[in-house]
């Protein structure tokens, strides 16, 4: 029996007719070839991208993400995850991206192969399952799995640029009272409103995630560690405004713990645990926020570290709402 022959023509046909976008680069990430689906999704023809760097497509990730974007495949041979890219017409879109390293007989990387598909609202069942695996179903925010991936990628970028990364662990105070007094539907609406507030008070390049319950995490690359209190204060100010839920104004407070790389850790899990422990300390001491890193506290001014507590959620005797403010430092 004769072995089937895979001809170059067949390879090219499979490459061109694939429904997923395909991009091949050399070891330095210079684009060598793209397929027809790549052009249909991005709007760029092969002639427009050959010889250029994939950062040409950078969307919400920012161009810095594409300086050495595929360090993961360089070590493990493969990386996959959700990224935001930009089409030729400027429109930003989400895609699921898989990157594989191609090695020669000596084990040296010679090429990278990137395969991606656009993530749309009308995803088929398999795509919906994949999205649910990486996003919180209530708020649409990244969940723990995607958060860890985002932090570790940001840490790679921050190490190159010698910048700190802040991880802020946000825990809502008095949230159980909302559920008990107004029901779980009101609690869900409040969590969605909190998620929206957090997203609106940080930069596009920052990540806001929900770990579950009333716990959120904000991740931000900073110019210097002393900028961390400003980020915490922006979060406090955003959550201090009343939330209108079922025609009632609700006031919350939040306890925030802040950890910083590289002082408090150099990987996602260590930084989240450090921020969580610091948040618990802040909660035990009456709310507000705390920075874990003593070095960051020394760099930050005394004025920046002081913060007024977010209005506390209280119910008055007549069923209305009132607030109480305390100072923490």
Of the candidates 136, 149, 206, 214, the residue annotated as catalytic is 214
The C-alpha angle 286, 166, 283, rounded to 5 degrees, equals 10
Say whether 320 sits in a helix, a strand or coil: coil
Q: Quote the CA–CA distance of 148 and 65 in Å, as a whole number.
A: 16
Q: What is the helix (H) or strand (E) element at residue 250, kind and residue range? A: strand 248-250
- 3-state SS, 173-218, equals ECHHHHHHHHCHHHHHHHHHHHHHHHHHCCCCCCEEEEEECCEEEE
Q: Quote the CA–CA distance of 229 and 41 in Å, as a whole number.
A: 41
The question of whether 214 is a catalytic residue gets the answer yes
Q: Is 228 exposed, middle or buried (0-12, 13-18, 19+ CB in 10 A)?
A: buried
Structural contact between residues 232 and 307, judged by C-beta atoms closer than 8 angstroms: yes
Closest to 194 in 3D by CA, of 168, 169, 229, 170: 170
Token output for 295: 């070095």
Q: Quote the CA–CA distance of 64 and 55 in Å, as a whole number.
A: 8
Using CA atoms, how far residue 140 sits from 15, 193, 212, 228, 307, in Å, is 34, 12, 12, 26, 30
Catalytic center residues: 214
């Amino acid at each position: 029996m004769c072995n089937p022959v895979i001809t170059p023509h067949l390879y090219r046909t499979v490459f061109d007719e694939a429904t997923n976008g395909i991009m091949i680069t050399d070891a330095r990430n210079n684009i060598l070839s793209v397929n027809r689906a790549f052009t249909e999704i991005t709007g760029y023809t092969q002639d427009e991208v050959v010889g250029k760097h994939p950062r040409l497509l950078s969307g919400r990730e920012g161009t810095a993400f594409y300086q050495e974007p595929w360090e993961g495949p360089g070590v493990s041979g493969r990386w996959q995850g959700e990224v935001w890219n930009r089409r030729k017409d400027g429109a930003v879109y989400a895609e699921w991206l898989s990157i594989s390293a191609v090695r020669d007989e000596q084990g040296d990387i010679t090429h990278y192969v990137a395969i991606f598909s656009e993530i749309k609202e009308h995803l088929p069942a398999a795509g919906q399952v994949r999205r649910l695996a990486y996003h919180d179903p209530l708020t649409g925010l990244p969940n723990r799995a995607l958060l860890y991936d985002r932090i570790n990628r940001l840490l790679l970028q921050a190490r190159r640029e010698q910048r700190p990364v802040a991880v802020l662990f946000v825990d809502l105070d008095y949230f159980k009272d909302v559920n008990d007094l107004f029901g779980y539907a009101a609690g869900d609406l409040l969590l969605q409103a909190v998620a929206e507030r957090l997203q609106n008070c940080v930069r596009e390049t920052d990540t806001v995630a929900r770990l579950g319950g009333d716990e959120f995490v904000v991740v931000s690359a900073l110019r210097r560690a002393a900028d961390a209190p400003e980020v915490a204060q922006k979060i406090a100010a955003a959550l201090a405004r009343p939330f209108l839920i079922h025609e009632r104004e609700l006031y919350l407070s939040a306890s925030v713990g802040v950890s910083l790389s590289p002082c408090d850790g150099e990987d996602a899990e260590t930084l989240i645990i450090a921020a969580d422990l610091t948040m618990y300390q802040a909660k035990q001491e009456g709310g507000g926020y705390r920075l874990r890193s003593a070095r960051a506290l020394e760099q930050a001014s005394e004025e920046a570290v002081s913060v007024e507590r977010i209005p506390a959620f209280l119910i008055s005797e007549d069923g209305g709402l009132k607030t109480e403010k305390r100072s923490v430092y």
